[in-house]
């Protein structure tokens, strides 16, 4: 009677996993949809402020939200926009470079919006805060 090998030691079990193209990657989809959600929230807030407080405050609010959305888009491009199959060291470097790029874009964009463009600082920061809150509240929903 021949010995039967367990199924976990078959040749098929030792092969790398096949990526199913019919199901998109949730993290990649969330990384590209999150800036769109942040811009949409910024547009809604700017529309409300245009009615209530005037045009310059609405432009400042939208600029703050747009800067944060561009920062998150840069992070998503640097991390989730690349091949998901890579060594752990390369993935960690992508994460670090993406984080530095995101915060560099956000810091420079907010400073330019408040200093060079002359937009009201409180509305720029309010737009950035709302975009960050949109990130916190919408990311679990986007990852489903």
Structural domain contains residue 75: yes
Structural domain contains residue 19: no
Range from 5-19, 52-66, 91-105 carrying the lowest mean pLDDT: 5-19
Structural domain contains residue 129: yes
- What's the number of domains the chain is made of? 1
Q: Determine the structural domain holding residue 121 and report its residue range.
A: 26-142
For residues 38 and 12, give the distance between their C-alpha atoms in angstroms, rounded to a whole number: 44
Structural domain contains residue 7: no
Q: Is the pLDDT of residue 27 over 70?
A: yes
Structural domain contains residue 1: no
The CA-based dihedral angle spanning residues 98, 103, 104, 109, taken in that order and rounded to the nearest 10 degrees: 130
Task: Provide the pLDDT for residue 134.
Answer: 93
Structural domain contains residue 94: yes
Structural domain contains residue 57: yes
Structural domain contains residue 12: no
For residues 51 and 47, give the distance between their C-alpha atoms in angstroms, rounded to a whole number: 7
Q: Is the pLDDT of residue 46 over 90?
A: yes
Task: Provide the pLDDT for residue 143.
Answer: 77
**Residues 52-96: tens digit of each pLDDT:** 988 899 999 999 999 999 999 999 998 887 777 788 889 899 999
């Amino acid at each position: 009677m021949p010995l039967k090998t367990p199924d976990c030691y078959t040749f098929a079990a030792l092969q790398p996993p096949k990526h199913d193209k019919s199901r998109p990657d949730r993290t990649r989809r969330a990384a590209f949809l999150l800036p769109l959600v942040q811009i949409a929230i910024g547009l809604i807030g700017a529309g409300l402020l245009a009615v209530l407080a005037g045009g310059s405050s609405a432009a400042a609010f939208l600029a703050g939200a747009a800067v944060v959305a561009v920062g998150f888009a840069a992070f998503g491009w640097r991390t989730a926009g690349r091949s998901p199959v890579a060594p752990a060291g390369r993935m960690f470097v992508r994460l670090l470079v993406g984080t530095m790029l995101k915060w560099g874009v956000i810091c420079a964009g907010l400073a330019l919006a408040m200093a060079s463009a002359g937009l009201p600082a409180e509305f720029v920061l309010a737009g950035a805060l709302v975009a960050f809150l949109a990130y916190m509240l919408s990311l679990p929903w986007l990852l489903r």
